[in-house]
Amino acid sequence: DAKTTQPNSMESNEEEPVHLPCNHSTISGTDYIHWYRQLPSQGPEYVIHGLTSNVNNRMASLAIAEDRKSSTLILHRATLRDAAVYYCILRAYTGANSKLTFGKGITLSVRP
């Protein structure tokens, strides 16, 4: 499985934007970039995903480098409820390789 690399942790102030980086230099042409987050004592939840173009949804934005070897999850205004572990995961489009393989993720702390 293609792997991702994330910093261990990051701190942010409430109501400020947060940029969470992810490196995936061995990404293949059919891998989608997925982001999930896990709030304390909960199962992971889907945040956003993309293939080549930048993506926006109600939760976040995903900026993908032109060579697709890195991406950044952007939370536009961090809240205390955004404190969680964020996982950047590469997922094949279909078939047996569509499983999600979790790395260590990045722990985001939000200061009031």
Partner 1 sequence: SAVISQKPSRDICQRGTSLTIQCQVDSQVTMMFWYRQQPGQSLTLIATANQGSEATYESGFVIDKFPISRPNLTFSTLTVSNMSPEDSSIYLCSAGGSLGYTFGSGTRLTVV
**Site residues (vs partner 1, CB under 8 A):** 34, 36, 42-46, 49, 85, 87, 96, 98-105
- Rounded Cα distance between 50 and 21, Å, is 15
- Beta bridge pairs of residue 21: 72
Nearer to partner 1, 69 or 102 (CB): 102
**What is the distance, to the nearest Å, from the Cα of residue 90 to the centroid of all Cα atoms in its chain?**
10
23: nearest Cα among 38, 7, 46, 45? 7
Contact 1, 91 (CB under 8 A): no
Residue 13 beta carbon to partner 1: minimum distance, rounded to whole angstroms: 26
Residue 43 beta carbon to partner 1: minimum distance, rounded to whole angstroms: 3
Nearer to partner 1, 99 or 111 (CB): 99
Nearer to partner 1, 58 or 67 (CB): 58
